[in-house]
């Protein structure tokens, strides 16, 4: 049996409060929520992060994302919604099974804050063009 906590939730050996399930994905309430309605959406098949997923598998998961978002909106009427995914420990990933957080936002004092410290003065247009070229080159692989 897998040691992955989310795999154990999918196979039922760890209980969860299910929100949605189909043959490919599983959504459930986060037991350490940031706000009312905080929900996780995961692929049923174990994938450590987005780099592990095929386009088809990612498509199956992301095709359900609007359904979860709309249900949260209809249920709780949040002022906004954050979709959050962390890939790798340096990015803040703590459970190494791909998961997408749906964090309904009610106001700016609800306990969640993303720090966004831009560095636009460190980059030139030439650097942006070089980076874009490199990304485009690797998109075709």
Question: Mind telling me the catalytic residues?
Answer: 99
Helix (H) or strand (E) holding 9: helix 5-11
- Which burial class, exposed, middle or buried, applies to 43 when counting CB atoms under 10 A from its CB (0-12, 13-18, 19+)? buried
Token output for 58: 């990612």
Question: Residue 123: left if φ>0, alpha if ψ -120 to 50, beta else—which one?
Answer: beta
CA atoms within 13 A on the CB side of 19: 24
Tokens, residue 18: 């299910």
Query: What does residue 15 show for φ and ψ, rounded to 5 degrees?
Result: -70, 155
- Tokens describing residue 50: 């987005």
């Amino acid at each position: 049996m897998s040691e992955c906590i989310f795999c154990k939730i999918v196979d039922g050996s760890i209980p969860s409060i299910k929100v949605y399930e189909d043959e490919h994905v599983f959504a459930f309430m986060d037991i350490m929520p940031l706000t009312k309605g905080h929900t996780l959406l995961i692929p049923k098949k174990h994938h450590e992060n987005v780099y592990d997923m095929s386009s088809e598998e990612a498509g199956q998961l992301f095709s359900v994302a609007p359904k979860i978002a709309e249900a949260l909106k209809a249920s709780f009427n949040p002022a906004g919604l954050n979709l959050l995914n962390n890939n790798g420990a340096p990015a803040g990933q703590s459970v190494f099974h791909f998961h997408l957080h749906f964090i309904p936002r009610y106001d700016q004092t609800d306990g969640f804050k993303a720090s966004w410290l831009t560095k636009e003065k460190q980059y030139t247009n030439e650097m942006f063009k070089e980076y874009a070229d490199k990304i485009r080159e690797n998109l075709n692989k």
